[in-house]
Amino acid sequence: MLGTERLLGDALVLTALVIDRDGTRAGWQDKVQLDPSEEATYAAGTGRHVFRSGPLTFGIAICHEGWRYPETVRWAARHGATVVFHPHFHEAEPGGYRPTRFADPANTFHEKAVLCRAAENTCYVATVNYASAGSPTTSAVVDPQGRLLCHQPYGEEGLLMAHIDLAAATGLLASRYQPLL
């Protein structure tokens, strides 16, 4: 998966390019829920998708979508995703808090939201941040019970790996959602 931009007609959208194991393009997930600060530059995409690679079915919630719009993760889990990838870029703000532990109570809500997205949908969530100095969030993998499996040390480049049990990601809680009409 590669976070990027693309033109759709005359509109510039934020997107994730999904590349299959054989190097072919598996598809795109465009960012549908824009942060208000992005609206002057980008257009909202349309539609959500799940992707399959071997035994893995996964969805993608891009940045702001995964933190502020829980329905993006719920949609993926309701459509069979056992993992939802959450690519994001969270820059340090001057004078902002610099955490040393994941979901630090003194930090913003962002990492805590990732724990909730996994637990409330009974799926894994893999949040992936760029390693930038002072970022208040990092990359992590959270299990379907909302427990942190692992995380990348803040500001350090690296490859984060986790062993997951796809059978544990039942999507049970996501499947019980009854939308109001």
Domains, the chain, in order of start with CATH, read: 47-175 (3.60.110.10)
Q: Is the CA virtual torsion 110, 169, 140, 18 positive or negative?
A: negative
Name the pTM for this structure.
Answer: 0.95
Task: Give the residue from 140, 174, 136, 177 showing the smallest Cα distance to 158.
Answer: 140
CA–CA distance, 163 with 154 (Å, rounded to integer): 21
Q: How many angstroms separate the Cα of 59 from the Cα of each of 76, 77, 130?
A: 5, 8, 19
**Tens-of-pLDDT digits for all 181 residues of the chain?**
899 999 999 999 999 999 999 999 999 999 999 999 999 999 999 999 999 999 999 999 999 999 999 999 999 999 999 999 999 998 888 998 999 999 999 999 999 999 999 999 999 999 999 878 889 999 999 999 999 999 999 988 899 999 999 999 999 999 999 888 7
Supply φ then ψ for residue 83, to 5 degrees.
Answer: -130, 140
